[in-house]
């Protein structure tokens, strides 16, 4: 099936594409939303501009769409328009997305797909958290934390790549503080800098950290694609 991928550059949307290809689907375009709201319930906020470089890294064309407005209705209206554009431009038959446990996102995405006559594909739905995070590492996904907003996650995590040691620490913090290890509830945001889908890897040339005492963003200022 020809699919468009809802794509943020984070681990879940990237791994969903990986899974879709394993399922023999053809991902023909990326759909990236740029929200106004930094606390969007539907979309990834930090560093969404970097996805244009990751589109090049995967050699998959992208549709980028800016959300005008901060309300739920504004975001759903913009997403439906973006998916409709993807259907018209690329002939997609469905949409793949990286949802794991958010019923709010699942309902919103599925209702849009029904209205547009498209299938909704969620290959990560209800995946077991620790098993999934370990699989990311085992499959060669290089995942950086670029935003944190949960008790137990402090400034030290911003700009940090997840490896076996840091995953063990995250798992312990997750149990202690009660946040979701996959960050499905927005406890943290991630960026994939390399994975098997990429023909080149992403190099971060300049970045700065913003921290207000409770939440923070690792703002990426400049990137380039380099040989693996």
For 121-157, how does the pLDDT look when each residue is reduced to its tens digit (9 = 90+)? 999 999 999 999 999 999 999 999 999 999 999 999 9
For residue 182, name the pLDDT band (cuts at 50, 70, 90): very high
pLDDT at 43 over 70: no
pLDDT value at position 70?
67
Residue spans of the domains in the chain: they are 2-121, 129-226
pLDDT value at position 39?
59
CA–CA gap between residue 117 and residue 111 (Å, rounded): 10
Exposed/middle/buried for residue 156 (C-beta within 10 Å: 0-12, 13-18, 19+): exposed
Helix or strand run (H / E) with residue 28: strand 26-34
Exposed/middle/buried for residue 180 (C-beta within 10 Å: 0-12, 13-18, 19+): middle
pLDDT at 35 over 90: no
The total of other beta-carbon atoms located within 10 Å of residue 177's CB is: 12
pLDDT value at position 167?
98
pTM for this predicted structure: 0.94
Check whether domain 2-121 has CATH 3.40.50.620, yes or no: yes
Residues of the chain with pLDDT > 70: what percent?
Answer: 95
Q: Give the chain's mean pLDDT.
A: 93
For residue 96, name the pLDDT band (cuts at 50, 70, 90): very high
pLDDT at 60 over 60: yes
Mean pLDDT, rounded, for 4-31 = 97
For residue 72, name the pLDDT band (cuts at 50, 70, 90): confident
pLDDT value at position 184?
86
For 184-208, how does the pLDDT look when each residue is reduced to its tens digit (9 = 90+)? 888 999 999 999 999 999 999 999 9
pLDDT at 109 over 80: yes
pLDDT value at position 71?
77
The beta-strand segments (E) located in 131-187 are 142-148
Helix or strand run (H / E) with residue 211: strand 201-211
pLDDT value at position 37?
58
pLDDT at 34 over 90: no
pLDDT value at position 74?
85
CATH topology of domain 129-226: putative n-type atp pyrophosphatase, domain 2 (3.90.1490)
pLDDT at 40 over 60: no
* 70 or 59, greater pLDDT: 59
């Amino acid at each position: 099936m020809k699919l468009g991928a809802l794509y943020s550059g984070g681990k879940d949307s990237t791994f969903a594409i990986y899974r879709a290809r394993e399922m023999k689907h053809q991902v023909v375009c990326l759909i990236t939303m740029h929200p106004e709201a930094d606390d969007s319930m539907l979309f990834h906020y930090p560093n969404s501009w970097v996805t244009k470089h990751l589109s090049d890294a995967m050699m998959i064309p992208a549709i980028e769409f800016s959300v005008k407005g901060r309300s739920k209705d504004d975001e759903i209206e913009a997403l439906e328009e973006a998916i409709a554009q993807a259907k018209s431009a690329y002939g997609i038959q469905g949409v793949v997305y990286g949802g794991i446990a958010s019923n709010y996102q699942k309902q919103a995405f599925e209702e849009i797909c029904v209205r547009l006559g498209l299938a909704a594909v969620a290959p990560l739905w209800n995946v077991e958290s620790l098993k999934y995070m370990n699989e990311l590492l085992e499959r060669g996904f290089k995942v950086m934390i670029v935003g944190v907003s949960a008790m137990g996650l402090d400034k030290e995590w911003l700009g940090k790549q997840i490896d076996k040691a840091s995953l063990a620490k995250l798992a312990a913090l997750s149990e202690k503080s009660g946040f979701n290890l996959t960050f499905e509830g927005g406890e943290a945001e991630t960026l994939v800098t390399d994975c098997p889908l990429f023909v080149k890897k992403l190099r971060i040339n300049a970045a700065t950290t913003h921290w207000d005492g409770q939440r923070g963003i690792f703002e990426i200022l400049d990137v380039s694609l380099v040989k693996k």
